[in-house]
Chain A
Amino acid sequence: MKLMKIGAINLKHPTLLLSCLAFILTLLVCTIILDLHTYSLVQNCQKLEAARYNRRAVSDVYLCLVETESAQRGYIITGNIMDASQYYDAVNRVHAAVEEMHKRKQITPDQARKLQELDQLVDIKLGEMASTIDAYQKKGPQAAMQIVRDQRGLRSMMQIKELKDWLRDSFAPSLRDVK
């Protein structure tokens, strides 16, 4: 009887053992697939993060520029020192934001070209605003208003806005792009 029992264990165990091994193998394969998915997810997250960084940098440049323009116009109307100091603060913020924008990550050649254009337009816009401030301080409000009235500033700001919108959209990767 004892012999028969030992024999039965011997026969049953290999089948159970094989099933367990098959299960472990399946688990291993599942784990590898999960790892691969996680790796691809992490890569997508990095792409999204870079896109977000670029979007934020471009938006910040635009926002600082609008702040500068708002302060510049305020100064021309009021001649108030508060507006003037706000203008100079805002100009500093524009420079800082442009520097931040230069640290852009993972961009396409098209985006690089547009960023360069934006850079040039920001310089033109800052130059135009500086000239109005200069005219105000040297020749008075009428001279400064004359520069504003020739709409150069408005045109360059519109171009900057268009570029900013283009860049913002191009930095928003769709789910289709994130593969």
Chain B
Amino acid sequence: MKWLSDLRSKAVSHTNLLLATVAALLLALCSTVAADITVWQQVKDCSYLEISRYNRRNVQDTYTGLLEANVAERGYLFTGSILDANEYYASVDRARTAERALVVGKFTPAQREYLADMLTSANNFLDFLDQCMNTYNKLGPVAAGDLVRTHKGYRELQHIREIKNLLRDSLIPPTVELGK
């Protein structure tokens, strides 16, 4: 009867092996699902970061465009040179292009408020620069200088800088928020 007991013990060991294999398979499945969830989360975080970066870049480009326009306008008031005038109009175009890219970006309601504030100030600032250019062309450098000395442009630019910094900071997602 020894052959019978051998056969029975072999069958039992095969069953154990089979059970162990099934358990291993289940474990592998679980870890694959967990890995998939992690990868999905990472992809979500990456797209969030990508949107933030895109918005930050446009905020920066808008601000740079405004500053360049300011420098070129002041250059024109000093020199009356066509080079500075061209640079002024090119800078205004760049600022407007960056503004348009900003408007179509994805923002939270709080960021939208900052953005609206920044864009209003940017428009006021560009209007003021235009006014200075027109004054120079019509009334000369002294009148344009007097207009600059009202500090309207300075105050507007200071406000834009503050809003830009707030908006930029709000666009950096804190590490703890990622992975939620």
Q: Is the CB of A13 within 8 A of B74?
A: no
Flag whether B70 is at the interface (Cβ < 8 A): yes
Residues of B within 8 Å of A20, CB to CB, are: 18, 21-22, 25
Q: How far is the CA of A73 from the CA of B72 in the complex (A)?
A: 10
Q: Which residues of A contact B21 (CB under 8 A)?
A: 17, 20-21, 24
Residues of chain B lying within 8 A (CB to CB) of residue A6: 7-8, 11
9-residue interface stretch from B80-88, B102-110, B114-122: B80-88
Q: Report A52-87 residues with CB < 8 Å from chain B CB.
A: 52, 59, 62-63, 66-67, 69-70, 73-74, 76-78, 80, 82-83
CB distance from B164 to the nearest CB of A (A): 10
Q: How large is the interface on A (under 10, 10 to 19, 20 to 34, 35 or more residues)?
A: 35 or more
- Distance, CA A151 to CA B80, complexed state (A): 11
State in angstroms the CA–CA spacing of A59 and B63 once bound together.
Answer: 12
B18 touches A13 (CB 8 A): yes
* Interface contact A10-B78, CB-CB below 8 Å: no
Cβ of B151 under 8 Å from chain A: yes
Q: How far is the CA of A167 from the CA of B105 in the complex (A)?
A: 25
Q: Which residues of A contact B63 (CB under 8 A)?
A: 63
B77 closest partner in A (C-beta): A77
| Residues of chain A lying within 8 A (CB to CB) of residue B70 | 70, 73
- List residues of chain B with CB under 8 Å of any chain A CB: 4, 7-8, 10-11, 14-15, 17-18, 21-22, 24-25, 28, 32, 35, 39, 53, 60, 63-64, 67-68, 70-71, 74-75, 77-79, 81, 83-84, 87, 145, 148-149, 151, 154, 157
